Structure 1
Amino acid sequence: MPQRAEDVPMLNLLIVEDEALIAMMMEDALISRGHRVVGVADTLPSALDLAGAHAIDLALCDVRLANGDSGVEVATRLAQQGIPVVYVSGNCPADAPHPLVIGCVNKPVPVAALHATVLAACRIAKADEPVAVPPALTLYR
């Protein structure tokens, strides 16, 4: 595992993705940068269960999920619990359903962009300044 820079926080992340290979790629990329993935959910109930069981700094959420579940609904419910969300989807919504839904990264997501996206989104959610927004991340605000 690569060493972490001292000034880069370890974040607790939730991945909401129903395609197993994409979820594993995201998880591996984030863990290799020193973050903790608290779990991978592929439905609304599994995402809410994980959110209830763990402290989560940010959720990365696909828009279309297994069993016809809506990632927009997942993002809204997580944001209502105070969890910032970034969509990772081939179908980025035009706007955010809640102020804590920070933005969207289009699939296929560049692996190198995940870490920068996660750090920027967490800083934006906390209103830290200044924030360099990675080119892969489209902000809603």
Structure 2
Amino acid sequence: MPNEALVQAVKSIVTLARGGNLDAAYQGYRDLFQKPEFLKHRPEDQRQVLRLMILAKGVPSKPTEAMIEAHRAAVPALTELVSIHSDPGDHELLGICHEMLGNLESADKIFRAGLALERERNPQSDLCGTLMKRISLL
């Protein structure tokens, strides 16, 4: 999937979401994340798309089945990013997915691992505060 195809897919998903068709948007994310080509994109591009879905504003407080399936489909890509790059931000995204899926023990471990990494890098960062808050809310 060339980068242009990724951009077009994301534009279509965003259009669906802005039009209020959230289930179709989440189904679009699910389908995108399930394509083997998604993992061939640059890590920065993967992160941008994953963040767009996982940190979306204005989503229902009770997740729909489409939301859950999209988060489940994001787990393999995030797991790979975490294992290869050890980026604390990736840990946050993966932890949020596990939290969405009801895997609270896994989410806690992932958030804590990300927090440990971020504390080594920059103990005063906003991400440290965000991860501590996420842990406290579990």
TM-score normalised by length of structure 2:
0.33
TM-score normalised by length of structure 1:
0.32
Higher strand share: 1
Higher helix share: 2
- Structure number, greater radius of gyration: 2
